Amino acid sequence: MMGLPVSRSYATAAMDYMGGRYLGMGPEKCSYTSQSVEIPMRDDTKLAAEFYNPILPSGHVPAGLIMIQCCYGRGGGITFFNARSFAARGYQALFVSTRGTFGSGGTFDPHMHEENDSQDIVKWMRLQAWYPGTFATLGASYLGYSQWALFRDPPEDCVAAVIPVGPHDQAWHVWGTGSFRLDRASWSDMMSRPEEERGSFLSRLTNLPGFSFLRSSELDEAVKGLPLEASLRKYFKDRAPWIFDYLANPNVDEPYWEKKRHEVSLDRVDFPILLIGGWYDTFTTQTIHQYKYLFNRGVDVNLIVGPWTHVHGSGLHSMPEIMEFLAQNLAKDGEYSRSRAQIFVTGAEKWYSLSTWPPQTSLKFLYLQEDNGIGAEKPAEEAIPASFIFDPLHPTPSIGGNQMTSGGKVDDSEYANRTDVLTFTSEPLIESLEIMGAPSVLLTHSSDPPFADLFIRLSEVDCHGTSHNITEMYQALDPDRDSSKILQLNLQDCAHQFRPGTCIRLVIAGGSFPMYARNLGTNESRVRSEKTAPQKHTIRIADGVSQIIFPIATGPLPTI
């Protein structure tokens, strides 16, 4: 079922013009019409959608068709960013609301129905008179996840995909560290509220004044409550039932997660893909994994990673590249002239143009020192261990980093003043040090009791003594581990240049709250227990058994 075409209004045209100019999309080529659409699914559910069709001179055909699936509404901001801006440049766009959201039938069950529904959307498109024979997919975050769900069985007529900050594996995000990712509570709070309260996706996720993420002080208190699951049940009541399924399935290999994990898609796609991420995005690890996997398979994949958080990595700063990519791979009337990997190097504050990520590197080893330093010399065999105590009732706070809405590059000097954190800091560097890839930290570590987590962060201390975060990782430790053996912890990929005069800092803590649910220090469930025990962490320093391994660029790299 399709409604009548409606031409865009003067007000919409003005907003499209200003938005496209701000994002560097190049001049508009035409106006367009929009049509309301209902798309039937295999179970007779109907999905609501808008079809945008460019108004072209006689004899001209659209540049191609873009398919978008979205759970955040079909309001002005998000349709401009994902559909209208492309329609004004000659592309058709089909913008579909996810099952159970904004007029689409059925019940919203996050990440559960996208695989089948996306295939049904494609089957319906093929039957329409306006279908050009091929299409591309586009969209960030959940919209990117929906693409990976479709690519579990890639349609042969899908010729390209643009996926900014889009995870392919929800289990990895929710429980991949061994601790529950608490941003699922704030996201679920937004998604389970009445649609008129949610507003557009972009307005709810930006950090500009008046555009804060929909989160209440009551939810903040609920997240602090113990037992966590009971506290969240009291807050949500009958809303967001899926979050309690998440809490009930902490093992990522449980059958519950199978339909929400699409690693197999990385083995099956064979068309050009543009991946976009940010060093401070919550899904950066998955974006980098996607790129490396596809590149190693020989897929035509391009990567852009900027100094961005989740929202700013969603394509806001990459529209010129997206337009070039679609011109080459969908419209077939242009060329993607960018390098295989465009990487922003923090510290240097420059873009690098690379043939792949990471580039060729060599390894540099530095050792944790007895005086809380970092140096090239191994400490003596009699060096005294370092220790701290993590108290789950007074957890170490999350400060910036890869959080969904309050992350980014921040001043994290506070960590150096806390008794529940160890910080190791080098002397000011004499020469620059350029890291390209994933640093590793080797620790000879024990905890009492053995139920404990580790939060590791690499930061830079500037010449004024202010520390800023670079990259990090989080891991719940196996309580049955052999603590005499070296523990290897791989941080998230980064691209950073330590300049002369700056210092390397390593932050080690037993938690990062409220990014992750606290380890309570007992053998009971961290989400169902209220019993807690402080955890004493001890790190051996003697003879260089605890160290940092940096991947260092082996030669000069081209800048953009």
Res 341: pLDDT: 98
Q: Which two tokens stand for residue 194?
A: 């009445």
pLDDT in tens, 404-421: 888 999 999 999 999 999
CA angle, 529 as apex, 526 and 532 as ends, to 5°?
Answer: 80
Q: How far apart (Å, rounded) are the C-alpha atoms in residues 245 and 238?
A: 13
Among candidate residues 532, 530, 531, 527, the one with its CA nearest the CA of residue 247: 527
Res 387: pLDDT: 98
Answer for the pair 522, 336: CB distance below 8 angstroms, yes or no. no
Q: How far apart (Å, rounded) are the C-alpha atoms in residues 415 and 507?
A: 7
pLDDT in tens, 320-334: 999 999 999 999 999
Res 199: pLDDT: 57
> In what side-by-side order are the strands of the sheet with 6-7?
6-7, 31-40, 46-55, 91-97, 64-70, 135-138, 158-164, 273-278, 301-306, 341-345, 350-354
Q: How far apart (Å, rounded) are the C-alpha atoms in residues 90 and 84?
A: 10
List Cα–Cα distances, 61 to 57, 58, 86, 90, 331, in angstroms. Answer: 9, 8, 14, 8, 10
Q: How far apart (Å, rounded) are the C-alpha atoms in residues 522 and 518?
A: 11
Listed in sequence order, the residues at least 6 apart from 219 whose beta carbon sits closer than 8 Å to its beta carbon are: 185, 186, 189, 235
Q: How far apart (Å, rounded) are the C-alpha atoms in residues 106 and 238?
A: 17
Res 212: pLDDT: 42
Number of H helices, E strands in the chain: 15, 24
Among candidate residues 138, 146, 120, 92, the one with its CA nearest the CA of residue 273: 138
The answer to whether the predicted template modeling score (pTM) of the entire model surpasses 0.75 is yes
pLDDT in tens, 11-44: 999 999 999 999 999 999 999 999 999 999 999 9
Q: For 108, what's the count of Cα atoms within 13 Å in the CB-facing half-sphere?
A: 23
Write a three-state SS string for 470-490: EEEEEEECCCCCCCCCCEEEE
Res 215: pLDDT: 53
Residues (pLDDT < 70) of the chain are 1, 198-215
Q: How far apart (Å, rounded) are the C-alpha atoms in residues 412 and 508?
A: 13
Please provide the average confidence, as pLDDT, over all residues in the chain. Answer: 95
| Separation of first and last alpha carbons in the chain | 48
The values of phi and psi at residue 507, to 5°, are -105, 130
Write a three-state SS string for 157-214: CEEEEEEECCCCEHHHHHHCCCCCECHHHHHHHHHCCCHHHHCCHHHHHCCCCCCCCC
**Sign of torsion, CA 12 18 24 26?**
positive
SS3 for 559? strand
Q: For 32, what's the count of Cα atoms within 13 Å in the CB-facing half-sphere?
A: 29
Strands 158-164 and 135-138: parallel
List Cα–Cα distances, 329 to 130, 273, 290, 320, in angstroms. Answer: 20, 9, 19, 14
SS3 for 289? helix
Specify which residues 164 forms β-bridges with. 276
Answer for the pair 317, 438: CB distance below 8 angstroms, yes or no. no
List Cα–Cα distances, 327 to 10, 323, 473, in angstroms. Answer: 27, 6, 38
For the chain, domains (ranges, CATH) are 6-178+250-338 (3.40.50.1820), 182-249 (no CATH), 361-553 (2.60.120.260)
pLDDT in tens, 161-220: 999 999 999 999 999 999 999 999 999 999 999 887 765 444 444 433 333 444 578 999
Q: How far apart (Å, rounded) are the C-alpha atoms in residues 24 and 494?
A: 27
Q: How far apart (Å, rounded) are the C-alpha atoms in residues 489 and 336?
A: 37
Q: How far apart (Å, rounded) are the C-alpha atoms in residues 164 and 89?
A: 20
The b/e string for 153-177 (b: 16+ C-beta within 10 A; e otherwise) is eebeebbbbbbbbbbbbbbbbbbbb
Q: For 22, what's the count of Cα atoms within 13 Å in the CB-facing half-sphere?
A: 11
